[in-house]
Amino acid sequence: MGAYRGAGRPEANYYMERLIDRAADEMGINRLTLRKRNFIKPSQLPFAAASGVTYDSGDFAGVFNKALEISDHANFAKRKKESKKSGKLRGIAVGSYLEVTAPPSGELGKITFEPDGSVELTTGTLDYGQGHATPFAQVLSRSSAFPSRRSHWSKATAISSRFGNAPAARARSRRRVRRSWRLPRS
């Protein structure tokens, strides 16, 4: 197990998977079978979910089956028994998760040509250690005549980013909403 990032999503997914396991136990259904029954089938795509999200592609059962194959899930009981003989505990879990990290919508993207001949690319996307600066500079360089060493990436602030999915844009939107909901003083 390695480090993971998330703001509650891993925990929420854990609870969802436990609920599926419990439902399978209560109904007397294999927990893998219950999951497979609920996957969107390729023939159902595009699929409009009740959440409002439209899934346009995917072979969810195929990916799930491949993961079971690669992990040798079918032979887990044998490995568990061997581990117990050595005084070790062995467990197994199954989880399926699909996340849209930034739903399709408008996102700030601005190019400023500076007096010194450099180019500044401003985005509403913030970098939390993923290394956005390099690919942004590469895309800018490939799609224009500016070498990446002459470009600079700037992260938008809540003031400069008026729309999009980035935290700066959401912060600005929250402030606008708060202002619009202020009650008049009595």
**98-125: per-residue pLDDT in tens?**
876 666 666 777 888 888 877 777 777 7
Would you state the pLDDT for residue 179? 35
* Range in 10-14, 21-25, 141-145 the model is least confident about: 141-145
Question: How far from 93 is each of 18, 39, 67, 101, CA to CA, in Å?
Answer: 10, 18, 12, 24
Supply the pLDDT for residue 104.
Answer: 62
Contacts of 70 (CB under 8 A, 6+ apart): none
Residue 108 pLDDT: 73
How many Å apart are CA 164 and CA 173, to the nearest integer?
A: 9
The model's confidence at residue 6, banded by pLDDT at 50, 70 and 90, is: low
Among residues 103, 71, 16, 134, the alpha carbon closest in space to that of 79 is found at: 71
Rounded to 5 degrees, what are φ and ψ at 182? -65, 135
Q: Which domains does the chain have, with CATH numbers?
A: 9-85 (no CATH), 109-180 (3.30.365.10)
CB under 8 A, 24+ apart: contacts of 15-24: 17/93, 17/94, 17/95, 17/96
pLDDT at residue 96 in the model: 86
Check residues 133 and 155 and name the one with the higher pLDDT: 133
The end-to-end CA distance of the chain, in Å, is 57
> pTM higher than 0.75, yes or no?
no
Distance, in Å, from the CA atom of 7 to the CA atom of 51, rounded to the nearest integer, reads 20
- Comparing 79 with 175, the larger pLDDT belongs to 79
Token pair, residue 111, equals: 């190019």
Element at 138 (helix H, strand E):
helix 133-142
Give the residue, 178 or 27, on which the prediction is more confident.
Answer: 27
Average pLDDT over residues 60-75: 95
pLDDT, tens digit, for every residue of 137-184?
787 777 766 665 666 666 655 445 555 555 544 444 433 333 333 333
Residue-wise burial string across 117-127, b where 16 or more C-beta atoms lie within 10 A, e elsewhere = eebebbbbbee
Length of the chain: 186
Contact 178, 170 (CB under 8 A): no
pLDDT at 171: 46
- Residues in a beta bridge with 71: none
Share of the chain above pLDDT 90, in %: 38
